[in-house]
Amino acid sequence: MKNALPLWEVFIRTKNGLSHRHVGSVHAAGPRMALEAARDVYTRRMEGVSLWVVPSESITASDPSESASLFDPAADKIYRHPTFYAVPDNIKHI
């Protein structure tokens, strides 16, 4: 049965003001049941205040074989990192 059901990616907003973050995936027959499965599998311990589910097949992923050309060029461009600024202590999520 499990193999016949489509896969859904699960995103949780842990609290208001934060972004939804990917936490995993569930198998379910439809969007509503995917939400229920995500609720049961991933929010048992108060992990979130909002859930998104997205059909896994809707996600276009980058090709690992292209990672050198996609990502390596950023490696030596340290001036793109905001590390030259002092971050105030009370800024938690930057």
Partner 1 sequence: MDQNLAICLGDDALILGHRLSEWCGHAPSLEVDLALANIGLDLLGQAQFFLGLAGDADALAYQRDAHEFQNCLLVEQPNGDFARTIARQFLFSTWQELLFRDLAQSKNPDMAAIAGKALKEVTYHARFAAEWTIRLGDGTAESQRRMTEGFDWCWRFTDELVSGDNAALRPEWDARINTTLAQAKLDRPKPVRGITGGRAGRHSEHLGHILSEMQFLQSAYPDAVW
- Contact residues: partner 1, CB under 8 A: 1-2, 5, 26-30, 32-33, 36-37, 39-41, 44
How far apart are CB 8 and partner 1 at their closest, in Å?
Answer: 10
Nearer CB in complex with partner 1: 24/67: 24
CA dihedral (22, 28, 30, 32) in degrees, to 10, reads -60
3-state secondary structure (DSSP) of residue 68: helix
State in angstroms the smallest separation of the CB of 28 from partner 1. 7
Give the shortest CB-9-to-partner 1 separation in angstroms. 14
Looking at the Cβ atoms of 24 and 57, the one nearer to partner 1 is 24
Give the 3-state secondary structure of residue 50.
strand
Of 38, 18, 17, the closest CA to residue 26 belongs to 38
